[in-house]
A and B are shown apart, each in its own frame.
Chain A
Amino acid sequence: MAEGPLVGLVLVSHSSPVAESVAGLAVALAGVDTVTVEPAGGTADGGYGTDADRIVAAVRAADRGAGVGLLVDLGSAVLTVKSLVEDEELPANARLLDAPFVEGAVAAVVTASTGADLDAVEAAAQEAYGYRKV
């Protein structure tokens, strides 16, 4: 149904395998391969942590012209993305999504695949907080 470019997503985790796995999981559960999901996990030397340069590169790679949503795990991942947004080091159409990492990623990929805009993708990711497990 989507005609124009789709919203892209970037997954920022302290761990490179976590970012890659959640990207794979979200795409698999969404059942689509049309949405660009870029993992940005770990540090440049392969350790646990956050790499600002890697995040900036991932956002550029995920940008198809319809905006980019970033999902983050915790701590320095949150603060690094916030400071990059604050200092305008990311494209103007890139936005930190306030959402749980795994559930938010699945909701965001599914929503993005329908051609929804960044506001709708953000709302869907955020709604994932409302799903209680107990």
Chain B
Amino acid sequence: MRHVLDAEFFRRWMLTAAAAVDREADRLTELDSAIGDADHGANLKRGFTAVRAALEDAPPETPGAVLVLAGRQLISKVGGASGPLYGTLLRGTGKALGDGAEVTDAALGAALEEGVGAVAKLGGAAPGDKTMLDALVPAVAALGDGYAAARGAAEKGAEDTIPLRARKGRASYLGERSIGHQDPGATSSALLVGALAETAEAVTGG
């Protein structure tokens, strides 16, 4: 797997993610109603609707600018904690990509690692805390084996949050009662990584 990724690739990734969020919004909200405040699906849907509109309105010309614009929309429109967290992920990744018109797979992997690091810093969470990071950290680690491997790692990471006890956010107030439920944030993170794999398959054949 070796690709050169341009702004169009990143725009398609964001639009694919928006479609996945639309499709899975009810499931995300259902997961969130078990251990959160039952708004994750609706919040992300509102955020990605704004991302879609912004990208159609004025499509940025570089990969980095696409992610920075998407991140800004999420921070401003989501309304829940996932807004600043996903916004930081995309903006941190976008900034790390720099302003080149094209980036390599390796550059995207390194940039995502920075973006995930920024999320960990903002939320003060670590893998095992039953958060987005439980899907994102293994996904980034698996990226060297390809986008499909990253998707698999993210999905497994999300499923593996089921037996964990939440240590961050509202779910942490539930203590032991947070055990036995899949984390909504890790689940939506797996959707985002899945959208990246889907885009890579559609654009470049994997």
Residues of A in contact with B (beta carbons under 8 Å apart): 43, 47, 49-53, 75-76, 79-80, 82-84, 86-87
Contacts and interface: CB of A to CB of B under 8 A. Distances in A.
Nearest to B169: A75
Overall SS of chain B's interface: helix
Given A75-B169, A75-B170, A76-B84, A83 B122 contact: yes
A84 B75 contact: yes
A10 B108 CA distance: 38
A82 B84 CA distance: 8
A82 B82 CA distance: 13
B170 A83 contact: no
A76 B81 contact: yes
Contact of B79 (A49, A84, A87): A49
Nearest to A84: B75
Contacts of B75: 52, 80, 83-84, 87
A86 B83 contact: no
A12 to B, nearest CB: 12
Interface residues of B, number: 19
Given A53-B76, A80-B75, A82-B122, A75 B81 contact: yes
A79 B81 CA distance: 6
List the 3 closest pairs (A to B, CB-CB), nearest first: A49-B79, A83-B84, A76-B81
Nearest to B42: A47
Given A86-B88, A87-B91, A79 B122 contact: yes
28 contacts: A43-B79, A47-B79, A49-B39, A49-B80, A50-B79, A51-B76, A52-B84, A75-B80, A75-B81, A75-B169, A75-B170, A76-B80, A76-B81, A76-B82, A76-B83, A79-B81, A79-B84, A79-B85, A79-B122, A80-B75, A80-B83, A80-B84, A82-B122, A83-B84, A83-B87, A83-B88, A84-B75, A87-B91
B188 to A, nearest CB: 15
A47 B38 CA distance: 13
